[in-house]
Structure 1
Amino acid sequence: MSERKDYTRIMAEYLKAGATMLSLTCPVEGCGLPLFKLRTGEIVCAAHGKVLLVKSDEEVKEIRERITMISVLDKLEEKTLNIIREQSEGEDVDPREIIGWLEVLERIRRLKEMSREKQSPSKPS
């Protein structure tokens, strides 16, 4: 019961922040809580956070691929940052090697940005 009260509190916070309660319920099996549309346009559930609503199997596949790619890029970014940190703290610092890793980091971030741009609604040309 206390968990349900926490969700009620979260839903009240969404409403106070200007979110709109939708007629849709959370698609997660067994949840059934109402979904909210935040001012940012994101659709959220009080229990599960951000929810992606899809219209077709193709869209499901596309979103899964994008989420997987972002997850892999996040891990790669973290690993690259650790390597840069370790190398810059070492005694034999080779600036060219650090520059190479910084370029890798820049590419990772560019890919993440491109992936996020694909996720947002398409803009008219």
Structure 2
Amino acid sequence: MSSQDPIKIMAELLKSGAVMLAETCPVEGCNLPLFKLKSGEVVCPLHGRIHVVKTDEEVKEVYSRAALSMLLEKVESTAIRAIDSLISEPDIDSTEIIKWLEVLERVARLKIIAKKRNIP
């Protein structure tokens, strides 16, 4: 979340209306209390957003959401690199650039859909 002192961050979270939970951060060695923001999001003052899971099914869901997010980021960065490479070539192939721009457009649409479905 920040490089500030976790105590100060916890105080700011409480001042902003966050609720301190009984659960602690699941990151090994952290053990700071988790806070529930007004938005419903659960955060650690040191690590930021935390996915609190209670069942194996929730664990699978969190991993699949994270995998989708990482995959979209990789595809997006690959498309950007490909476009950058194509633009720097002396003989620019516009059809190839258009194909990669379409990939970027699809990634953007998928990110919007994922956001609407609350997939990080």
Quickly name the TM-score band, shorter chain normalised: 0.7 to 0.9
CA offsets per residue over residues 59-103 of structure 1, 9 Å max, x none? Answer: 111110110121121111111111112222332222222111111
**Structure 1 segments of 4+ aligned residues over 4 angstroms from their partners:** none
Counterpart CA distance in 2 for 1:14 and 1:88 is 46
Secondary structure in structure 2 of the residue aligned to 1:119: coil
AA partner of residue 94 (structure 1): D
Q: Look up the match of 1:90.
A: 89
RMSD between aligned residues: 2.2
Aligned twin of 1:39: 38
Q: Secondary structure at the match of 1:24?
A: strand
Give the gaps of 5 or more residues in structure 2: none
Equivalent residue, structure 2, for 1:48: 47
Alignment of 1:105-116 (within 5 A): 105-116=104-115
Identity, % of aligned positions: 50
> What is the DSSP-based 3-state SS (H/G/I as helix, E as strand, rest coil) of the residue aligned with 1:114?
helix
Query: For the residues of structure 1 that align with 2:16 and 2:117, how far apart are their CA atoms?
Result: 27
TM-score (norm 1): 0.78
The Cα of 1:26 is off from its aligned counterpart by: 1.6
Instruction: Specify every segment of 5 or more residues in structure 1 that has no aligned partner in the other structure, as ranges.
Output: 121-125
- CA distance in 1 between counterparts of 2:72 and 2:30 reads 30
| Residue 33 of structure 1: how far off its partner (Å) | 1.1
Name the amino acid aligned to 1:66.
Answer: R
Q: TM-score of the superposition, structure 2-length normalised?
A: 0.80
Give the SS at the match of 1:22: strand
Distance in 1 (CA, whole Å) between partners of 2:96 and 2:39 is 40
